[in-house]
Structure formats: C-alpha cells, structure tokens
Structure 1
C-alpha cells in the first residue's frame, strides 16, 4: 500500500474518533459579506439572527411584517470573505455596515474573465480563485455584455464533475444563479446538454439550445441554505452531453432570514420556475430595484392593467419584493373574476412554493380596499383577501401543481372594485441535504490539498451524487454516507 494512502486511511480513522477543529478562511475584501455579532472570537463566528414573528407553518399564509410586535435590529459587522490559496497570508478586512447595505452581499463571478468588471452597479470578479480546472474562451459576438464575453469550459471527459468551491456562512440562505451563453465558443452550432450539482445533489439539467437559437441567454436559479462553511457548485456530463460543458457567470447572493420562510431548508431547496411583474411590459426588474438581484420578468396578457398611485414598503413583506413590481397590476372591472394563466410554462407534477403580491392601486383613502377570493389551479388559496394600498403577500409553502395553471380571483359581492394582482413567484421544492459525513470530507479535502496533481474532479462532495463521486473513491451504499476505500 502506498504510504500516502496509509496515512489517509489513518486520518479517516482518527476523524471518526476526534471531532475536527473549526477552520475559518477570512481574507481579501471583495467577497461575500456575512452579518455577524459585534463580538468575534478566533474560534467561533456567531452569526446575527433577526428576531421575527413565529409562524404556524401550515399551507397558506397572508403576511405583512407590520404585524410583528418585536423585532431586533443590529448594526452588523461585515466580514469580507474571499477564497484564498494555500499560502499563509490571510488578512481580515472588516467594517460596519447597516442592515440595508448588507442586503447587497454576494459573490458575482464572471467565469473565464481575467479582471474585475462593473456592470449595472455590480462588481463582477474573475473565477480563478474558486475553481482549478477547465479552460477559458472568449465569445466573438459583437457588443456582447462583459459578463457574457467569456466562458469557462471543461473538455476533460475523464473527470466526473467540475466544481466551484465557495466560502459561505453555515446555515445562511443564498440565491444561486448560473448563467449560460454558448456563443459557439468551441466552433460548434449547438450547445451541449449537461447537469448542475450543488453540494452533492443534482439540481437540474442545463439545455440552452432553444435560448441560443433565439439569441438569448439562459439562466437557472435556486435558493439553498448552506450546510457547511463551503458550498460546491458543479457541472457534470450526462448521457446527452456531446461536447464540453461550460458556464458564463455564477452568482451567490445572501438572503435575509425571513425570505421564503416556511420551507425546511435542511431538507429542501427552492428552484425558481417563474418570477413576474404583472401588467409590466418593460425590461427585467433586478438590481438595484431588487437589492438581492432577483429577476422579475415582465408579464402581460389580455387582462387590462392599471397604474398604482401609492408606494409600498418592501421591508413590510417577508420576501422583501422590490417596490417597482407594485407600480402596475392586472385587474378587471367590478364584479368580474380575474383569471391569469400563470406561470407561462407547463409544470411537472411536483410540490411548489407559491407567493402572490397584491396592492390596491388607488390613492389611499377609507375606500381604497378590495376583497376577493384567490384560487390556484381550481383550489382555494386564500378566502376573503382584503387588499389595501399598503399591499399584501399571500404564499403557500407546499402546493401540488402540474400542467398549465390558472390563478383565479373572484370578488366579493360588496367589493367596490374588481380584483387586482401585481406580481408572483413560483419555485419548485427540491429534496436536498444528503451529504458525505463532514469529517470524511474534511480529511479528503486536506489530502487533496497535499497532492501535487490531484484528480480534476476532487472537489465538491466526494461521494455524491453517486454517479459523480470522486475518481478512485469508494463510498458506503447505505446509512450515513462515508468513504470506505481508495
């Protein structure tokens, strides 16, 4: 047995007895800003939690945070974290930020780029600090936006996956968006098809063929909670892959604790299906209107739209929607049902998180209210919803849907005006959370760092998904996921 393998197996045995020490990588500014208590010790970073009203997490909720009677607000210490190399030069850059300023925290990674680039008020950084495999290529499309001008692609067919490793806050909630623009970087005419993996769970299959044929960019989104201090985002070949997987950009945005609550993020993630601003016909609403850079696409149909004459306060809603999406709404006349075919895609049979946003569009007065029932796919979603100029959000945490879906709003007999709807989000619930046991992962990562040329797929979860485990690594087939051999 090679000596290195012997010592690795010895380390695995020791880690099964002795808990691993806590490691923290705090270094260069420009990375993810994480909220923390003002007291920070060398061995522990205690993350700040904002107290909010407790909820009975049943099926449906009507939510306005104005009902909260007690809310802690902290000035937070922002530690800027950046992935660093193996050298011992580690610098901590920290400064005080307000809660509002922290909402912009995130990694905005321009894949294949060689320098930082600022676009739309967001600073994009090169990806070389987060991944050590793959090649880079420039896109020849004229006048293309900077974050689509380069790609990182992965021609090595022997590797089982190609992974980015990103430092995160344990238990913190993130929106992850991957963006793809093929641009014929490899001289081909058709983009490859491949899988996306997060922390050992296959998330989705990337197929940008239709988008590229229409000259469009494709993006995929998911909301996850970090289970450890690093998060892995991987691409992997599947039986449809005929050329090199690639990626144009990768975003990881820190979300507030209240956002998309009611979901058990220790077991599930939320994959975005649609996010629309109803009655709006302009460009995508994103940052800076939405400080979390969520994409709210325009949605219009045969229903009339109205302009809204009062502003909402985004912080009064759990999901913190941008005020911009309340500026217009779909409506109908008094006494008539408002029916909206949404989302504009055919849904696979699954459970979904559905959030709908409403606001009375008239100038605030004692008469600026409207009452109606809301049904989703023919089933009661909320009965007797009273919508005022302040706005309201109604959401369901696990709603079984399939096929084409209709949102129907039926007015009460005494409502002075017809129903109205401003915006909506729908996210598919994805089972999540199974990972290789932590002490085995730490041991293998340390072993890989000490190899001169580790296999290119030795990043991410060593055992999961099983068909994309690390080359040469054998894992247990039942119970806790453990490494059992090399």
Structure 2
C-alpha cells in the first residue's frame, strides 16, 4: 500500500510539474495548461498500449511461409497453413481488387470438402482468458461461380453466427467476446447445404480484465460498436485502440469535438481510444433529446449495452450538463454527468430483451446543456450450453491420432458441432458431454503395437 501511495504521489508531482512549466513557458491559464499537459502525458502513455504481439492475425489463403505488415495498422499477418490442414487457397476475382481493399481480403481459404472444417488457435495467454475473436469474409467471386454462399460459424461446439452476403463485394465481419476454458480454441465453418464455406481472415485479441460480462456458458456477439459523432468516415482500430476493437463511424445531426486528448492522465478500465472519445453527438436543440433506435428483429435476443461519455467542452460557472437515459420508454440510467476529458461508462448489469432498442437521452431540470454521447457498444448474449466431448475421450483419441498419424480431417472437437470425425460414432445426451462409442480404423493401414489409449475410451462399444 505504501508503495502504491508513493507511486500515485510521484505521478501527481510529474503532472503538476508539467502544468507549472507550461504556465511559465506560454503564460497559459491553469485549464489550458492542463490540456497541454494531457497531450504531453499521452505521448508517454502510448508506450503502455497493450502489446498485441501475442495475439493471432492470420490472412486465410496466404501461402505457407508468407507474411506481411498491414500498412495502416502495422499488424503482421501470417499464413493459416499451420492452423488447419484442410481447404484450398483461392484468390478473389481481379475485378474486385482495388487500391483501397485491405490485403487481408484478397485471398480466401475455401472448404469444398467435409461438413465442418476447424481452425485450432493456441493463444499464448492460455485458458481462463477473455478473447476477442474476429472473422472476416468477402466472397469476391473467388470460385468463378458468381453464386453467394451461406454457412454457419462456430466457436468450439457452440454456434457463433450465420454468414451470408448481400453481394459479391460485401465484407462480412463477425466478432465475439469469448471466455476460453482450455488452451485451444476451435473456430469452425459448417456447410449447411447453401454453398461452399470460406474465410478471408481470422484475428484473436485478449483482454487483461473482465470489463465485458462473459461467463463460461455464454459469450457476447457484437451487434454494434459505434464512434458516435465521428467527423470522418474512417473506422478506428489498433493502434488507436490498444485492444484492436473496430469502431464504426456514426455521425450525428449535431456534434461537438475537441483536439485535446481524452483519458491521458487517468486511463479508464475500458481503455477507450482517444480518437473515438474526442467526438460526441448532441441534439440540435439545446432543450432537445438525443435519440437512438435499433430494430433487432427478434424479441428473444438478449443484449448488453455499454455507453461511453466524456465532456469535451470547458463549461462556464453558469453551465451544467446532466441527463438521464431511457430505454424503450423506461428509465435506464439517471444522473449522468460527463467529466471533462475523462471517460465514464454506463452499462447494463442484466441482459435486456426486445425486438427494438430505443434510447432517449434527456437533460435533467438542473442541466443548462443538452445530453451528449461519445461511443456506444451493443452485444448479443449467446448461450453456450453445449458441452464439448468428454475430456478423457478427447485425450485418448488425440493420442491415437498422434501415434498412428491418422485423421487428416480430424479437426476441432471429435463429436461436435453436429458432425463427428470420420470413423467415429458418438453418443449424445442433451447438453451433457458426448462420448465416443464406435471407432473404425480399418482402412487406415495401421501397424505396430496397440496403443493403451484405446483402453481409455471408456464408453467404446465397437472397434
């Protein structure tokens, strides 16, 4: 505790020194000096951005041994050849390639064979860690069929989402926040009889804390992540966002912005990018409300909402900004007072249902200024109830696979999702872990001693 106190005092002294020095140099007001000090401190704080070097960034369809650095993000993308042993590399049609198309979308890995094909990701952070997993898809007529496919995407043995396209140049981005219970994460593509599955890129990032409400039996699928009041048409991600979240521009009818850095002196737990928090939307009328509405189309869906605020204006003595938040006509959050150049987050403690999410931000009777909103995140809560195959059976079959060098298409979980490995038959009992009851290796050309792992398949009925 004493060491922490000394650290806080030391940092405060540094900031005060910067402010005093700036006042001496430029004859600024204390508030102006504070803003300048924030900018100076940010340059030092940039060194503290999360190191995503331990993350996974793969360009699917890139030949083995190839890699490159993205010109915008400086993220290094590598081939997926060592993460999956099925599929074929393809390149999108030349008519869809352009100078503005990200390089990650120029190649795809296609899976014309097998009902399911799975990537095996082994992040350095291991198990019991919250990961952001992002999959990107662009058809681009890579197969010269000019026919848009549709397929399902899974994390482990549970369905993540459905992938479909509006047209051949439509870029589909699927993102999920997932708590991994094991050191291996399977991302699987399932053929549902509506065309050949494929994937353009696959990315994995990790969080250092539990800011997003995930449990082992559930996950959060991204619905919206918006840079509200954005003054550009550019998506914000790493390096501006140390977690490499992608913030889509959402210009407002009225907006305010600042060139000063947000969260330079006190980092918020969400580590929000300053570039996003430097802009905000507000009503055109000073007495008006700020309205946002999203048609979800499914009343059974459950949502978690995160709203991020930061005051961007230096308020005068007679000015005050305070507002409430209503959701679908009911009070959701009261007395939100944004702090100047510091982020504040309001989130839902419990999931919300509704075929429509209608937000209304209204000023209180004490407020002289209208409400503002800097950023918004909405996630769909997905129940991950299906258990993976019995761990003892998994260990045994993995040893058999390794010993006999069989099962080229044996990827992901042996029994789930929906299809078991070739040569395996599994028993299923609701959401209980499936078990291997039959194993057929008669055509594998086996030789040598019988491995003891066969005896570890406790539920095996037929061999």
- Regarding TM over 0.5, the answer is yes
**Superimposed CA distance per residue, residues 134-163 of structure 1 (whole angstroms, 9 cap, x where no aligned partner):** 11112233334321121110111xx23101
Q: 1:298 to 1:336 in 2, by over 3 A?
A: same
Partners of 1:104 and 1:419 in 2: how far apart? 39
> Residue 210 of structure 2 aligns to a residue in which SS?
coil
Q: 1:151 to 1:171 in 2, by over 3 A?
A: same
Selected match of 1:172 from 129, 133, 156: 129
**Deviation, structure 1 residue 245:** 0.9
| Equivalent residue number for residue 229 of structure 2 | 279
**Superimposed CA distance per residue, residues 263-309 of structure 1 (whole angstroms, 9 cap, x where no aligned partner):** 242111000011001111421111111122211001124x3111136
Q: How does 1:91-106 map to 2 (within 5 A)?
A: 100-103=49-52, 105-106=54-55
Q: 1:316 to 1:377 in 2, by over 3 A?
A: farther
TM-score of the aligned structures, taking structure 1 as reference length? 0.73
Q: Is the 8 A contact 1:355 1:396 kept in 2?
A: yes
| Equivalent residue number for residue 180 of structure 2 | 226
Selected match of 2:155 from 198, 201, 212: 198
Partners of 2:154 and 2:419 in 1: how far apart? 9
| Equivalent residue number for residue 413 of structure 1 | 365
| Equivalent residue number for residue 425 of structure 2 | 474
Q: 1:403 to 1:475 in 2, by over 3 A?
A: same
Q: 1:368 to 1:107 in 2, by over 3 A?
A: farther
**Deviation, structure 1 residue 381:** 1.6
Selected match of 2:106 from 149, 162, 178: 149
Partners of 2:382 and 2:192 in 1: how far apart? 20
Gaps of at least 5 residues in structure 1 are 1-65, 67-97
**Superimposed CA distance per residue, residues 211-259 of structure 1 (whole angstroms, 9 cap, x where no aligned partner):** x34x3311100010111111111101114x2x32111100011122133
| Equivalent residue number for residue 115 of structure 2 | 160
Gaps of at least 5 residues in structure 2 are 1-7, 9-46, 440-463
Q: Is the 8 A contact 2:155 2:188 kept in 1?
A: yes
> Residue 420 of structure 1 aligns to a residue in which SS?
coil
Q: Is the 8 A contact 1:369 1:387 kept in 2?
A: no
Structure (1 or 2) with the larger CA radius of gyration: 2
- Does the alignment pair 1:441 with 2:391? no
Partners of 1:413 and 1:278 in 2: how far apart? 25
TM-score of the aligned structures, taking structure 2 as reference length? 0.76
Q: How does 1:389-400 map to 2 (within 5 A)?
A: 389=340, 390-400=342-352
- Does the alignment pair 1:187 with 2:144? yes
Q: Is the 8 A contact 2:127 2:180 kept in 1?
A: yes
> Residue 83 of structure 2 aligns to a residue in which SS?
coil
**Deviation, structure 1 residue 106:** 1.0
**Deviation, structure 1 residue 197:** 1.1
**Superimposed CA distance per residue, residues 84-129 of structure 1 (whole angstroms, 9 cap, x where no aligned partner):** xxxxxxxxxxxxxx86343554100010102101112100000001
| Equivalent residue number for residue 89 of structure 1 | none
| Equivalent residue number for residue 238 of structure 1 | 192
| Equivalent residue number for residue 329 of structure 2 | 378
Q: How does 1:312-327 map to 2 (within 5 A)?
A: 312-313=262-263, 316-327=267-278
> Residue 316 of structure 1 aligns to a residue in which SS?
coil
- Does the alignment pair 1:140 with 2:93? yes
**Deviation, structure 1 residue 397:** 3.9
> Residue 349 of structure 1 aligns to a residue in which SS?
coil
Q: How does 1:284-363 map to 2 (within 5 A)?
A: 284-301=235-252, 303-308=253-258, 310-313=260-263, 316-332=267-283, 333-341=285-293, 343=294, 346=297, 349-363=300-314
Q: 1:103 to 1:366 in 2, by over 3 A?
A: farther
Q: Is the 8 A contact 2:50 2:243 kept in 1?
A: no
Q: Is the 8 A contact 1:267 1:431 kept in 2?
A: yes
Q: 1:444 to 1:163 in 2, by over 3 A?
A: same
| Equivalent residue number for residue 69 of structure 2 | 118
Partners of 1:313 and 1:461 in 2: how far apart? 43
Partners of 1:382 and 1:104 in 2: how far apart? 38
RMSD of Structure 2 on Structure 1 (CA): 2.2
| Equivalent residue number for residue 33 of structure 2 | none
**Deviation, structure 1 residue 345:** 5.5
Alignment length, in residue pairs?
377
> Residue 352 of structure 1 aligns to a residue in which SS?
strand
> Residue 443 of structure 1 aligns to a residue in which SS?
helix
